[in-house]
Structure 1
Amino acid sequence: MTNQLILIIEDDIEIVRILQAYFERDGFRTIAATDPLTGLAHHQRLKPDLVVLDVKMPKMDGYETLAALRRIDDAPVIMVTALAEDLDKLQALRLGADDYVVKPFNPLEVVARARAILRRAQGGRQSAVLRAGRLSIDTEAHTVLVDAEPLSVTLTEFRLLAHMVRSPNRVFERGELIDACLPEGEAMNRTVDSHMSNLRRKLAAAGLPDLLLSVRGVGYRLDVPHG
């Protein structure tokens, strides 16, 4: 099972639905945008593990979008387009794309290529362990430790903690946490609050009563001492 987030930037809603269905069937989480500016905003907020990006889009094409993505992040990108010319492929790769798929495509192939890219990217990382003060999260083993002692959490609680630990002391809006961490059917503010309440209780029992804080009217943050 994977917890990785795929961002799909594609103006054809039918293609979006197909890709989301195949990625989610394979255990990925997805978020989609039908225009580049919304896609860039999603990317900035949610830090996806991989982006599937269309080339032919109005106002801002995929090459411009890819260049904008590369100025802020190095997440893997698969370009999906009807353009089959070698020059188009070379341009995408030169701008920093990791792969290139031509329409019409087999969605199973797109998912398989995404898996291969993510596997290579994971192999290049020095550590899959995220740390915040006395808390450590192993994103591969799906374990949470407080002072080296295991903390029992649900899958959704794990997703919430892992997402927030990547940006300690930052305030996360409830809507962002829903998009990034909660499966379909759970997407309600009060559901986030319920998960957070359980998580705060577990952290307090483990000796971290002040780690997870509620920010009134906004959302939540992890209060991690500097240094």
Structure 2
Amino acid sequence: MSLVTAVRLAQKHSARLGPVKVLLIEDDERLAAQARPAIEGAGFECVWAPDALRGLSAVGEERPDLVLLDLMLPDRSGFSVLEELRSRSAIPVIVLTARVLGEDKVAALDLGADDYLTKPFWDQELIARIRAVLRRQRAVHDAEVFAFGQVRIDLGSRNVQVDGVDVRLTPTEFNLLTYLLRRPGQALRSERIIDMVLLTEDASLPALQAQMSRLRRKLGEDGRRIQTVWGIGYRFDPS
């Protein structure tokens, strides 16, 4: 991972604390010119990427809250982009496409799309679907409770208990833990964890290692479930 510049850090904090950010991956400039003002007029921030390469890069750089994804991109199939997104993130995705075949819709939903909107579409319908998906996402997150061994994590209240006793985690420790919990059994690269979770000036491999060490200690015996995958990064083992 490259050094975190002041500009990069400001972008990350904005993505965390600012308005809901929508990433539009769409090669049709006219459609993007139509959709962006509607999205921004609804109170969201909108980032546009005209192809898959820049779209996937923007997922890491901009850290959007929702992705609008065209299936017919110039450099890569939208289906493969959706598959890659799902392999590394639970970010909500609404597919936007001129494809009208039922099997395309089924394929997109099976790959993990949260909704599917056929072009041409009404701006108000797009905004309504964005809001509906975000509501569902928040409802799921607010209600989620993870439990393993002697550990219980309530995502809504950000409360963590070990053997029935409240344990105070720093915001970074809590975000690291939930990032791992949402990807059980996956070997996650250190660079990706640093890029998606650490927001400090010293976002680096040694900083990540120190955070993981402190997190393991706070989880007691269950800290062993956060496993080091040598040469790659970390994995959460729920078993």
Mark yes or no: TM-score above 0.5: yes
- Residue 224 of structure 2 aligns to a residue in which SS? coil
Q: Which residue of 1 aligns with 2:216?
A: 200
- Distance in 2, matches of 1:33 and 1:218, equals 31
Q: Which has the higher helix share?
A: 2
Query: Contact conserved, 2:26 with 2:69, CA < 8 A, in 1?
Result: no
Q: Which residue of 2 aligns with 1:221?
A: 235
Q: Which amino acid aligns with 2:169?
A: V
SS at match of 1:52: strand
Give the distance between the partners of 2:126 and 2:72, measured in 1 at CA.
Answer: 18
C-alpha deviation, 1:165, in angstroms: 1.9
- Any idea what the Cα deviations from partners look like across 1:166-219, whole Å, max 9, x if unmatched? 344443220121233223755422221121122123223xx5453333333332
2:204 matched residue in structure 1:
188
Partner of residue 84, structure 1: none
Please show how residues 152-191 of structure 1 align to structure 2 within 5 Å: 152-183=168-199, 185=201, 187-191=203-207
Matches within 5 A, 1:39-118: 39=56, 50-62=66-78, 64-65=79-80, 76-79=92-95, 88=98, 95-96=108-109, 98=115, 100=117, 114-118=130-134
The within-5 A match list for 1:28-39 is 34-35=51-52, 39=56
Q: 1:55 to 1:168 in 2, by over 3 A?
A: closer
Instruction: Could you tell me which runs of 5 or more consecutive residues in structure 2 were left unpaired when the two chains were aligned.
Output: 1-15
In the TM superposition, 1:7-46 aligns within 5 A as 8=23, 10=25, 34-35=51-52, 39=56
Mapped to 2, the partners of 1:195 and 1:70 lie a distance apart of: 26
Paired positions, count: 196
Are the counterparts in 1 of residues 21 and 66 from structure 2 also a CA contact under 8 Å?
yes
Task: Tell me if structure 2 keeps the 8 A contact 1:9–1:34.
Answer: no
In 1, the alpha carbon distance for the partners of 2:165 and 2:67 equals: 35
> Per the alignment, in what secondary structure is the counterpart of residue 210 of structure 1?
helix
CA distance in 2, matches of 1:71, 1:201: 31
1:111 CA drift (Å): 8.5
Unmatched 5+ stretches in structure 1: 82-87
Q: Deviations over 1:74-102 (max 9, x none)?
A: 96422467xxxxxx386686754626598
Flag the 1:159–1:75 CA change in 2: closer, same or farther, 3 A: closer
Give the 3 Å change call, closer, same or farther, for CA 74–189 of structure 1 in structure 2: closer
Q: Using the alignment, how far apart are the partners of 2:224 and 2:141 within structure 1?
A: 31
CA distances 1:35-61 after superposition (whole Å, capped 9, x unpaired):
26984xx89xxxx97433135521435
**2:160 paired with 1:144:** yes
Contact 2:215 2:223 in 1 (8 A): no
- Answer whether contact 2:226 2:235 (CA < 8 A) is retained: yes
Distance 1:130 1:180, change over 3 A: farther
Across the aligned residues of Structure 1 and Structure 2, the Cα RMSD in angstroms comes to: 5.1
Once the two structures are superposed, what CA deviation does each residue of 1:102-138 show, in whole Å capped at 9, x if it has no partner?
A: 89xx9xx989864541212444689411222222222
Q: Cα–Cα, structure 1 residues 124 and 65, in superposed 2: closer, same or farther, change >3 Å?
A: same
Give the partner amino acid of 1:35: A
Comparing 165-174 and 151-160, the one that deviates more: 165-174
Partners of 1:68 and 1:170 in 2: how far apart?
Answer: 15
Q: 1:141 to 1:201 in 2, by over 3 A?
A: same
